[in-house]
Structure formats: C-alpha cells, structure tokens
Amino acid sequence: MYYRKIEPLKQIAWFLNLSKASFFLGALSIALALVISSRKTATHPKVQKTPNLKEKRFLTKDRFNFNSLEKKENNRMNQTPIPLQEKEVYLKSGEEYYIQYIFSKDHALVADEPLSVGGQNKGMSPYELLLSALAACTSMTLQMYARRKNWPLEKIEIKLRHEKIHAKDCENCESQTGMVDKIEKEIVLHGDLDEAQRQRLLEISEKCPVHRTLTSETKIFTKAVSQF
C-alpha cells in the first residue's frame, strides 16, 4: 500500500522536472533569436522608403505652398474661358494681387510684377512681355531672311533693355520735352557670316513687324462691354 502511494509522487516529480527543462530550453531559444535579430539589424539597418518625385515636392511647407499655387494656376491655364482667333488674346485677373492669366487661341501664360513693386514674381512683367515679343519677332525675321538667302546663320541671341529717359537727352527723338521710351537691342549672330551679311542682318532686324508697330503710329481703341 505504501509503494502504491509513493509511485504517483515520483511520476509527478518527474513531470515537473521535465516541464522545467522545457521551459528553460524555450527561454534559451527566444534569447538566441533576439540576439540574432539585433545583430542583423545592426549589420543591415532598416532602409526607409525613398519618397518619389511627387512626394518630394510636398516635403516642406514652402514647396507645398508653391506647388499648390502652381497646380491651381495650371488648372486655370488649361481652361480657355472664351473662343479666340489668331492675333487675339484674352486676359483674366487672378485672385491674388497682380497675377494675370493671359490666353491666346492655343497657348496661355501668367503675368505678374516683381516682388520689389508688390507682386509675387510668378511671371514676366508687362514690359518684359513687350520686350519678349520684340525679341521673338526679330529672331524669326532674321531666320526667315537668312534661310531665303541661304546664309549660314546658325543661332541668334538677343538681349533687350527698356527704360524711360528725358527727351532732351535723346538726340534722334521727335519729342523735346517730357520722357520718352528707350529700348536697347543687342544681337549676337552665330555662324560663318561675312561682315556684309552681318550688317545686312542688323538692318533686317529693324524691319520685323513688332519693331515697326512700336516705332510707327499706333492707335488703341478702348471700349467697355458687358461680357464676352
């Protein structure tokens, strides 16, 4: 009877010893796994996801504000408000001070004033647009003429400057009082051109249509309308 009572106690003790051994082995396995994992992390640090180009544009507050405005402007620019013909333009003022949206039949652009006069510098100023028109017209006229003459004109560079001067300081001006507008135009002609060809091209540069418009009598008729 005594043997029968002792035998179950031995079995329970053996089971407890086995459980302790299993627990110890389990804890050891977890510890080894943690050590291996920490070594891998130190050797190969976690690489952060590189933001794509679209995400990079919005990483900073300044870029976010600029791109939001730019996207807003582009959406407006892609919507021509009224039908237009060639040699017609339409302008619509923006919500922000001095910004102007200008449309032609197939194109659009933004005009603005520089920061120095209260604008946001989001586009060329009116006088810069005027100079751009003269420069583009001059270059196109020279290219047409050189092509027709089969002259080796390879490339054209033009720099223009506008300022107002006193009429008394202008030797060739008709007006002798007040202020007059002065535009300086500098041209670089690239190509194997002789001196006679270069001089002739300079003469042709003053015959472009925009140059003639600016230097001839021009009438501007203004009237108010209810809508377009």
How far is Cα 62 from Cα 53, in angstroms, rounded to an integer? 16
| Per-residue tokens: 173 | 């001006």
* Residue range(s) defining the domain that contains residue 108: 57-117
What is the structure's pLDDT at 33? 65
Answer with the residue of higher pLDDT: 50 or 190: 190
Residues 83, 137 within the same domain: no
Q: Kindly state whether residue 38 falls inside one of the protein's structural domains.
A: no
| Helix H or strand E segment including 225 | none
Residues 109, 138 within the same domain: no
SS (H, E, C) 25-93: HHHHHHHHHHHHHHHHHHHCCCCCCCCCHHHHCCCCHHHHHHHHHHHHHHHHHCCCCCCCCCCCCEEEE
Residues 135, 69 within the same domain: no
Number of domains in the chain: 2
Residues 136, 209 within the same domain: yes
The fraction of the chain above a pLDDT of 70, given in percent, is 65
Residues 150, 194 within the same domain: yes
Check which CATH number belongs to the domain holding 140 and give it: 3.30.300.20
User: 124 - beta bridge partners?
Assistant: 111
Q: Kindly state whether residue 156 falls inside one of the protein's structural domains.
A: yes
How far is Cα 167 from Cα 178, in angstroms, rounded to an integer? 6
How far is Cα 28 from Cα 46, in angstroms, rounded to an integer? 26
What is the structure's pLDDT at 154? 97
Instruction: Name the least confident of 100-114, 170-184, 209-223.
Output: 170-184
Answer with the residue of higher pLDDT: 150 or 78: 150
Residues 139, 194 within the same domain: yes
User: Rounded to 5 degrees, what angle do the CA atoms 161, 177, 132 make?
Assistant: 20
pTM reported for the whole predicted model: 0.64
> Read out DSSP for 90-110?
EEEE-SSTT-EEEE-SS-EEE
In this prediction, residues 24-49 reach a mean pLDDT of 59
Q: Kindly state whether residue 52 falls inside one of the protein's structural domains.
A: no
Q: What is the pLDDT of residues 85-122, one digit of tens each?
A: 999 999 999 888 899 999 999 999 999 999 999 999 99
